[in-house]
Each structure stands twice: as structure tokens, then as C-alpha cells.
Amino acid sequence: MHTLTLSLRRFSRHLAFSLLCCSPALAQTSAPEPGQKTVYLHSVLGVSAPGLSALNTELTKAGFLALPEQYLVRGAGFTTLFPRIRLATLFNFSSYSTTRTEQGRSSWTRASTAGTSLGLIVRNREQFQLIPYAGLVFSWFGARLSDVAPASNTFAGYLVGPTNQIHVARNQFMGNLGLHVARPSLGSSPLARKLFVGARVGYFVPLTQPDWQTNGVSLSGGPRPNTQGAYLHLLLGSAL
């Protein structure tokens, strides 16, 4: 809970700073006109629920701490609308990370995705925007785990002592299926008409099943989790 609170505070400060920097430029430009190409830049805050049950089964068998099942997601992206041909492109980068410690054991997890999707503009009005989409992303996932405290608390002793940590990583391409819902206008003034809030709900589908890696060395076998899974992203941004 403490980690979630700190992440929310950092996101709020980042968002406030971004809007402050963009406000003068936004005030000097007009709101987007219906039918014209529009680019929206946005921040992302949400929740990810990867499918890590198979990985956690193997970790707990080996005495390691199981990884969490839900994560706070942060990121950014931009969406380009082409109303005349009823298509949209959606680029997004998102990341989640967390650290857990329990009874001398610890786990550190970090994952990111970056990619582009193509959407069909079903509805694009000032009050409501609806865009189902599908695309391709690349996923990075890594976990560092410790099952016991180090044998020595000195630097030299730790280097020569028995290994108490492992690191595994998995990178792969994934399909991205989702639905974008937004309100692209928050008022009648030119500035308010450029701002938008929205949400995206979707699911990442693994397209490849690569080997696990540790320090660049492949590990054959092992579980095949979905390291991204389902997600819900809340968006806040502005038309450029």
C-alpha cells in the first residue's frame, strides 16, 4: 500500500508538471475541428493483472517468494485519429514494478510494453469516443528473487559467500486487443475542448514462447506465464 501511495504521488506530480508546461501552448491554439486529423498526447495510470500462476508455482516449490497478482501501471502514449477514413493509430508505453519482502525473502519484479495498435473509429463526438483496437507490442519482463538473507553483512564477505539471489527474464512479442473509450472535450472553452479523459481495457496475448534468460544465457523448459495479461488504463491528455 505504501508503494502504491508513493507511485500515485509521483504520477500526480509528473502530470501536474506536464500540464503546467503545456498550458501556454494549448491556450494559443484552437480546439480540433470535427473531421480533421487529430493527435492526442496522454499519460497512463492503471492496473495490470498478468497471469503468473504457473511461474509462482515453480518459485514457491524452490522456496522463493511468490510474485504479486496485480500491479500499478504507469506510462504514456499518443493517439492519432483519421476521421475521414474512420481509423486510428494508438501508440502506448507502459510499465509496472514492485518489491516485496517477507520473512527474510524478497522479490523484485519489473515489466514493460511498447507498441502500436490500429483502431476502428466507431464513434467520435465531443461527448463520447469509442474505438476497438488490435495491435502488436514487445514485452520485457524480469524478476530478481532472494530466498535467504546474505551469509555476510560485509561487502567482501558477500562477494565470496554463497549465492542467495537469482534473476530470470523473458522478452517476447504479444498481441494487444482492447477497447478505447474517452470523452475528448471537457468544456466549451478552446483549452477545455482540447483536453480529454478516457479509459482502455484490454488483454495482451503471447505470440511467442521464448526461453527464460539469466545473464544472457537461455534456460530450457520452465513455465509459460502471460507476463502482461489483462489491463485497465486511465488516460488524461490533450490534443496537440
What single-letter DSSP state applies at residue 8? H
pLDDT at res. 69:
93
Q: Which of 60, 93, 77, 66 is nearest to 228 (CA)?
A: 93
Please give the angle made by the CA atoms of 46, 1 and 108, to the nearest 5 degrees.
Answer: 80
Q: Give the domain range for residue 114.
A: 35-239
The dihedral region occupied by 35, where left means phi > 0, alpha psi between -120 and 50, and beta the remainder, is left
Q: Does residue 47 fall inside a structural domain?
A: yes
Question: How large is the average pLDDT for residues 155-163?
Answer: 76
143 and 168 Cβ atoms separated by less than 8 Å: yes
Any domain includes 53: yes
Could you tell me the sign of the dihedral formed by the alpha carbons of 57, 63, 69, 74, in that order? negative
Does residue 91 form part of some domain?
A: yes
| pLDDT of 23 | 45
**DSSP strand E in the chain: where?**
38-51, 71-82, 87-102, 105-120, 123-124, 129-146, 165-183, 195-206, 212-214, 217-219, 226-239
Q: Determine, yes or no, domain membership for 2.
A: no
Domain count, the chain: 1
For residue 124, what is the domain's CATH number? Answer: 2.40.160.70
10 Å Cβ neighbour count for 9? 10
pTM, two decimal places: 0.81
pLDDT in tens, 56-89: 999 999 889 999 999 999 999 999 999 999 999 9
Residue 108 in any domain: the answer is yes
Confirm whether 3 is domain-assigned: no
Other beta carbons within 10 Å of 88: 22
The neighbour count for residue 106, using CB atoms within 10 Å, is 19
